[in-house]
Homo-oligomer: A and B are copies of this chain.
Amino acid sequence: MSSQPTAAMLVIGDEILSGRTREGNGWHLAKELTEAGVSLREMRVVADEKPDIIDAVQTLSGKYDYVFTSGGIGPTHDDITADCVAEAFGDNIGVRDDAHAILVDHYGSDDINEARLRMARIPDTATLIANPVSRAPGFRIGNVHVMAGVPKVFEAMVAEVLPTLAGGQPLLSWALRVEAPEGEMAGPLGEVDARHPDVSFGSYPFFRGVLGSTLIGRSADLAALTAGINDLRETLVARGLVKIEETPPG
């Protein structure tokens, strides 16, 4: 596999763990990072609890090149992400002039109440991340990007952040959708996988109407990927598995 920068996603919010909300920001980020050539290696969801957030930020920040967080930067008492991230980095935090100016510009100085001022609490050494949707900014400190949980705002912040990342070679994927039981393809797939160390193969079975599996090859190297998929196709055809639909990269 190619040497891509690595990343982790940290989702913060009781509403995900209680089942009230279906997490979707991680899925959005996963697609964007894959396209940018950054390898998302782990996702975590933790509750709105200070020790849980601090521990996750420190662990993930030390383990991966980039960390992206979602949630907990609004105006309410349970929005504690900014304070936790500051503490995780041993940084001071308070209402910062640049963030304050953005909120005053948006709400007008009369409507800035104490709760809204929470959204201007930014660690001293952080860089703001613009929020083109609802203005209250996110921020980057060290390798951690702190972003909103509301999907529209999260996605807008990801779009702001992506051009600042050092991406690697984008991973290419090539899919073969095969109508045959996964258990009959698993043997051949394993043999093909062993012959192509630069390609990673996966199998994703489906049961909708017909029984089958989508076999996916992934590689940053198009020549290696093409060779691997050609080998896989020939191997399957040789075993009599011929109903194959292909989705090449791009």
Contact = CB atoms under 8 A, between A and B. Distances in A.
B52 A200 contact: no
A16 B48 CA distance: 24
Interface centre among A24, A78, A111 (most CB of B within 10 A): A78
Interface centre among A28, A31, A115 (most CB of B within 10 A): A115
Interface string A192-229: 01100000111111010000000010100000000000
A116 B186 contact: yes
A45 B187 CA distance: 26
B189 A76 contact: yes
B76 A190 contact: yes
Nearest to A48: B202
Interface stretch (A35-43, A82-90, A158-166): A35-43
A242 to B, nearest CB: 19
A243 interface: no
Contacts of A179: none
A226 to B, nearest CB: 19
A47 interface: yes
A26 B41 contact: no
Nearest to A9: B45
Contacts of A24: 22
A99 interface: no
Interface in A85-132: 107, 111, 113-116, 118-119
B30 A183 contact: no
B16 A43 contact: yes
Contacts of A116: 183, 186
Interface centre among A21, A43, A134 (most CB of B within 10 A): A43
Given A26-B23, A113-B184, A193-B77, A42 B40 contact: no
16 contacts: A16-B30, A17-B40, A17-B42, A17-B43, A18-B173, A19-B28, A19-B40, A41-B47, A76-B203, A77-B194, A78-B202, A78-B203, A107-B183, A113-B187, A114-B187, A119-B183
The list of the 5 closest CB pairs from A to B, nearest first, reads A115-B186, A19-B30, A19-B31, A77-B190, A75-B186
Interface of A: 11, 14-24, 26-34, 39-48, 52, 74-78, 107, 111, 113-116, 118-119, 134, 150, 152, 171, 173, 182-187, 189-190, 193-194, 200-205, 207, 216, 218
